């Protein structure tokens, strides 16, 4: 169980570092940013730290990785050694390097997909709420029908039709998740479009695009940002699951989901290496959840109410 101990130690180290950074931020910052740092729970600080580390690894991947992503640099399934800190995979590629490049590929693709789902879903949702009438009815009923099919099953159906490539993966997952974003954006906007200032802007003769951009969107931002975090987690998990099933991002591109699938045989021999990419996925999801929790807590004004 030396491995479990080192994982626990690593997590504890991250928590300690998060605590130190938070204390540093409290001491150095002034004004508004200081008040944010001072009521940030430790879990949120930990989440932010993890997200920053992932972002750094994703951006600096070529500098950090000891070997190129796709090169075969050893024999297959080598054990952990000084040359290959995490050993090699099924055909002799360096595991550590692929893990590092995976941050760029997997997280990058998940991020792009979430962003696409968000732009499409929230714009349509806001537009539907603003316009109302038959447009709203058609879009909402259509989304209802799509949401009656379980997300993974619907994605599998669409992937069969469009074929399994990275582009179709992004488009399919974005389309499926846009329906969920649409629901939320529409219900948030419905509370806003009845406000007097929207009426006033309408009487001024502003068009729909101006209303969405300048009047509704700024007021709907808080719940949408929190939803972005949650949605990212869902998208990230479904992309990883599909890649794990061999239907998403495919080798030789380094991707955490397919790395688990590729090397899964090692697990039956008691080797933990194939679990590392899955652990990377889990750690990021937990971190994002922590930050989203904190944001929701701040947005809901619970802190003021309890004081």
Partner 1 sequence: MILTRIALGVGLLFVVSLVIFWATELLPGDLATQLLGQSATPETVAALRAQLGLNDPAPVRYWAWLTGALTGDFGVSLANNRPIADLIGARLGNTVFLALYAAALSVPIALTLGILSALWRNSIFDRMANAGALGAISLPEFFIAYILVLWLAQTGFFPSMVRINPTTTFGDRLYMTFLPALTLTLVVTAHMMRMTRAAIINLMASPYIEMARLKGLSPLRIVLRHALPNALAPIINVVALNLAYLITGVVVVEVVFVYPGLGQLMVDAVSNRDIAVVQAIALIFAAAYIGLNLIADVLSTITNPRLMHRR
Interface ranges with partner 1 (CB under 8 A): 145-146, 148-154, 156-164, 233, 237, 240-241, 244-247, 257, 260, 264, 267-268, 270, 272, 274-275, 278-279, 281-282, 285-286, 289
Q: Which residues contact 270 (CB under 8 A, 6 or more apart)?
A: none
Q: How many Å apart are CA 298 and CA 36, to the nearest integer?
A: 10
CA angle centred on 177, ends 176 and 179, rounded to 5°: 80
Torsion angle of the four alpha carbons 89, 245, 4, 76, in this order, in degrees rounded to the nearest 10: -10
CB of 79 to partner 1, least distance (A): 17
- Sequence-distant (≥ 6) Cβ neighbours of residue 41 within 8 angstroms: 294
- Token pair of 64 as six digits: 């950090």
For residue 203, the minimal CB distance to partner 1 (Å) is 39
User: Are 178 and 121 spatial neighbours (Cβ–Cβ below 8 Å)?
Assistant: yes
Q: Which is nearer to partner 1, 68 or 108 (CB)?
A: 108
Query: CB-wise, 143 or 212, nearer to partner 1?
Result: 143
- C-alpha triplet 112, 117, 121: angle, nearest 5°: 155
Q: Which is nearer to partner 1, 175 or 189 (CB)?
A: 175
Nearer to partner 1, 192 or 233 (CB): 233
Task: Provide the minimum distance between the beta carbon of 81 and partner 1 in the complex, in angstroms, as a whole number.
Answer: 22
**Minimum CB distance to partner 1, residue 301 (Å):** 20
CA angle 113, 115, 116 (to 5 degrees): 65
Give the Å distances, CA to CA, from 204 to 197, 215, 216. 10, 13, 16
The least distance separating partner 1 from the CB of residue 244, rounded to whole angstroms, comes to 5
Give the residue with the Cβ less far from partner 1, 67 or 77. 77
Q: How many CA atoms lie within 13 A of 224 on its CB side?
A: 25
Our CB check for partner 1 shows the closer of 7 and 25 to be: 7
Instruction: Give Cβ neighbours of residue 224 (< 8 Å, ≥ 6 apart).
Output: 118, 122, 184, 185, 188
Residue 72 phi/psi, 5-degree rounding, is: -90, 115
Using alpha carbons, select from 47, 22, 2, 18 the residue that is nearest to residue 297.
Answer: 47
Cβ proximity to partner 1, 75 vs 268, nearer residue: 268
Number of residues that make up the chain: 307
For partner 1, the closer of residues 150 and 191 by Cβ is 150
In angstroms, what is the minimal distance from the CB of 9 to partner 1?
18
Measure the CA angle with vertex 75, ends 74 and 76; round to 5°: 120
Q: How far is the CB of 162 from partner 1 (least distance, A)?
A: 8
Least distance to partner 1, CB of residue 8, Å: 14
């Amino acid at each position: 169980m030396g491995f479990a101990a080192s994982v626990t130690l690593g997590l504890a180290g991250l928590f300690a570092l998060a605590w130190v950074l938070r204390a540093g931020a409290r001491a150095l910052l002034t004004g508004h940013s200081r008040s944010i740092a001072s009521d940030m729970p430790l879990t949120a600080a930990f989440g932010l730290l993890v997200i920053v580390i992932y972002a750094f690894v994703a951006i600096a991947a070529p500098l950090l990785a000891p070997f190129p992503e796709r090169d075969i640099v050893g024999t297959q399934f080598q054990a952990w050694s000084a040359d290959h800190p995490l050993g090699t995979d099924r055909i002799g590629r360096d595991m550590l390097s692929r893990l590092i490049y995976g941050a760029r590929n997997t997280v990058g693709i998940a991020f792009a997909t979430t962003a696409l789902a968000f732009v499409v879903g929230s714009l349509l949702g806001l537009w539907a709420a603003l316009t109302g009438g038959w447009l709203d009815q058609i879009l909402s009923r259509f989304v209802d029908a799509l949401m009656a099919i379980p997300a993974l099953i619907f994605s599998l159906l669409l992937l069969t039709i469009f074929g399994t490539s990275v582009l179709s993966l992004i488009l399919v997952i974005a389309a499926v998740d846009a329906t969920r974003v649409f629901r939320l954006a529409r219900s948030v906007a419905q509370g806003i479009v009845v406000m007097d200032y929207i009426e006033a802007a309408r009487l001024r003769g502003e068009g729909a695009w101006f209303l969405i951009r300048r009047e509704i969107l700024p007021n709907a931002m808080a719940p949408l940002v929190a939803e972005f975090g949650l949605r990212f987690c869902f998208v990230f998990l479904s992309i990883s699951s599909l890649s794990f099933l061999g239907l998403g991002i495919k080798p030789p591109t380094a991707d955490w989901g397919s790395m688990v699938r590729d090397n899964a045989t090692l697990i039956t021999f008691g080797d933990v290496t194939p679990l590392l990419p899955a652990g990377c996925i889990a750690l990021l999801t937990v971190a994002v959840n922590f930050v989203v929790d904190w944001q929701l807590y701040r947005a809901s004004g619970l802190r003021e109410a309890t004081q």
